[in-house]
Amino acid sequence: MSYSTLIFASVILPLSVLVLFLDRSAEYKNLILCIVSVLFVSWGRSVLAALVFLSFFADYLLALAVSGTSAKKAKPAAAFFLLADFVWNALLLTVLARSAAAGAGTQPLIQKALIPVGTAFFALRNFTYVYDVYKGNCRAEKNPFVLMTYCCGYPFLLAGPVTRYADYEPQLRKRPMDAGLLSSGLERFAKGLAKTVICVPVLSALAKTGLDPKEPALSGAWIGMAAFFGAGYLTFAGLSDMGTGIARMNGFSADVNYAPLSAKHMMSSIVKSCNKSMAELAADMRGRKNKARAAFLTLPLAMLGAAFFLPSAKALAIGAAAGLLLAFECLIGTKKLEKIPSVIKIPAVFLISMVIFSPFAFDDMSEWLSWLGRLVGAGDSYILSKPMKEILLGNGVLLLITLFSISPFGVGLSAKLDAVTPAEPKKYAAVRRLRTLFSAALLIVSFILAASRTMN
């Protein structure tokens, strides 16, 4: 099941949030969250769901082992248990990712990646818990029910954020329902749902048409790849927005994982925009003070990050290419990167990203080489194919809205609206009404489109 599944968005989610108001205790809220999480994960995948829910016991026991050996100052033993937890979660990711790939059939690549990415977030979040116990950032949880709520809670299963147990442990024990969190959560959920249901299908159709080997137009190669990246970004950003919104509706103060796209620090800013919590975790693991050490560890972390999204040899190669570039930027330093003019950084980052990450769009290297040829004008000279024209003309308004929403102008407008506080009563009331109407419109349109696609 996904956040954008019609029965989840229109029935299961509102009912589960409504039931939370029947009791104020955190134990009751955690119980409801676990019940809905079991339903969410087990929808059509009961055997794998059992593996997911049983797996957290391994993290529970290994964290206790790490805590016990750390207390006795037996660091080698604690490191061994930490390594065992990493191996366990890596094996879990491999098993579930292979199962998902086997059942994906001929689905688009982005759709194939959803379950592996969701599994990867689950595995990585559970590993960070044991890692934080090892580092002394939090204590090992002795109550398995509390840890199960953290590890298996459905708001954090698909696209992050990669939560840290030390940040959420107080909320697991005391989580009063807050009207402000409920309102902001519903608004964030509406934005995420609109991204995945309204915007992504159009961009996916553009990508499929533009990257088709039978589409020899130069413009098709450029537009198709830009649409592929846009569909991927909005898919995972939308799922993350929905997860964050659902978490807030469940009483958690959750951060947004996918930040507005930025090229401030070249490629490193793009990576952080596309997965803020994972980038911060990597920075924490590699260290922040010693540039040489950080650059050296960037390469293996980047390779693991690429395999995190799509476990394959191709992903490791792409991660290695990106890792070398990120390591070089790490050695240069952020201050020097900030001095490069934006008119140079933005097109440079776009071109580099397109070359490095474009193999993800193709199953066959010959198709990728063919696309590279068309990219530099090796294809036919006509501007647009008929299928591409039909998609652009039929969805022009929607595409313009999508581009505006992720552009600096759209991001800046959203930031200005967010800056309005209750200290300005009239402005604040007007902004709240505008946001409420906008969220309601997004939900209505998204539900109508989701229902129509389900019927078709």
Cα(31)–Cα(60) distance, integer angstroms = 18
Cα distance between residue 168 and residue 171, in whole Å: 5
pLDDT at 162 (0 to 100): 65
Range of the domain at 60: 22-176
Please report the pLDDT score of residue 381 as a whole number: 58
CB burial of 170-191 (b: ≥16 within 10 Å; e: otherwise) equals: ebbeebeeeeebbbbbbbbbbb
Q: Is the pLDDT of residue 80 over 80?
A: yes
Q: What is the mean pLDDT of residues 105-116?
A: 52
**pLDDT at 49 > cutoff 70:** no
CA distance 434 to 429: 9
Identify whether 119 is part of a domain.
yes
| Contact between 364 and 211 (Cβ < 8 Å) | no
pLDDT by residue (tens digit) across 177-213? 778 888 888 888 888 888 888 888 888 888 888 887 7
> Looking at residue 98, what is its pLDDT?
63
The arithmetic mean of pLDDT across residues 58-65, rounded, is 89
Cα–Cα separations (whole angstroms), residue 109 to 69, 130, 293, 345: 43, 32, 35, 29
Q: Pick the range with the lowest mean pLDDT from 82-91, 148-157, 202-211.
A: 148-157
Residue 41 lies in a domain: yes
**In-domain check, residue 124:** yes
pLDDT of residue 233: 82
- pLDDT of 456: 62
Is residue 345, in this structure, part of any structural domain at all? Answer: no
The pLDDT confidence band at residue 111, using thresholds 50, 70 and 90, is: low
Query: pLDDT by residue (tens digit) across 316-368?
Result: 888 888 888 888 888 888 888 888 888 888 888 888 888 888 888 887 788 88
122 within some domain:
yes
Q: Looking at the 3D structure of the chain, how many domains does it have?
A: 1
* 51 belongs to a structural domain: yes
**Alpha-carbon span 21 to 201, nearest angstrom:** 36
Does residue 431 fall inside a structural domain?
A: no
Q: With respect to residue 286, please indicate whether it lies within any of the assigned structural domains.
A: no
Model pLDDT for residues 212-259, shown as the tens digit of each residue: 777 667 777 888 888 888 888 888 888 888 888 888 888 888 777 777
Angle (deg, nearest 10), helices 109-135 and 218-249 = 50
pTM for the complete prediction? 0.79
